[in-house]
Structures are given as C-alpha cells and as structure tokens.
Amino acid sequence: MNRQWLKGFSLVELMMVVAIIGILAAISIPSYQSYVRDSRRTDAYTALSFAAAEQERVFAFDSRYSGDINDLGGADSAGGFYTMSVTATDTTFTITATAKSSGLQFSDTECRTLTINQLGQRGSANAAGSSTADCW
C-alpha cells in the first residue's frame, strides 16, 4: 500500500495557533502599556526635581521663591508628557506636574498629578483628585 503524506498544516492547526497568539497578545499588551505609563512618570520626576532645584537657586539670590514657571524650566516637562505649574509665596512653593490631556500619559489615571514642595515633600493624585501614596 502506498500512502501519500500530505505536507503542511490543516485549517484546525492554523486556527489553534492564531487563537494562542491572540490569547498571549490579550495578556501581554495591557501589561506592556502599564509599564510604559509607569516609566514615563520619570519625565515628571525629573522635571519636578529640576524645578525645585531652580526654585532653591532663585531663593538663594532673591530671598524669595518665584511664582513664574518659566523661571524654573518652562511649562512643559522635557519629554512633553506633563504640564508644569507652580504656586509660590515668598517662603513656600508647590510645583505640580499634570499629565497632558492630549498625551498618552493621560491614561495614567492612578498617578495623573505629581507635586513637590519647598520641604521636599512629594505628593500625587489620581484622576479624581484623591491623594495616592505609591506614585513616587
């Protein structure tokens, strides 16, 4: 008896491979996006630290803190994911980094806003404005 073996994949085998790839993608893509959001927070950390250092430099020369964000590095973070703002009196300041609503970082609902003040105290807030503790 001569039996010919067919070479290749059957449709069922091909569909099983496609299903496995789909399941792996459904698990890995959201996880990857979460890691990307977390890593982009370093843009805010860097911008806040730089602006706080600039505030201390301004205070050393003028004996008061600046209320102008342009004196502290500008209204945008270096990576462009956050908008910077400052609230200052002569003796206190709070610098805030808020994820841009037009950017990809806006989907970081757990840590949308990060702050630092003249004492070096760091804070963060979620999309609803409630304080969160694990963003820094």
Q: Beta-strand (E) ranges in the chain?
A: 82-88, 93-99, 113-117, 122-125
98/101 Cα distance (integer angstroms): 9
Which pTM does this prediction carry? 0.79
pLDDT digits (tens, 9 = 90+) for 68-92: 999 999 999 999 999 999 999 999 9
Helix (H, G, I), strand (E, B) or coil at 77: coil
pLDDT digits (tens, 9 = 90+) for 93-121: 999 999 998 878 888 888 999 999 999 99
Q: Does domain 12-125 have CATH number 3.10.350?
A: no
- Where do the structural domains in the chain lie, given as residue ranges? 12-125
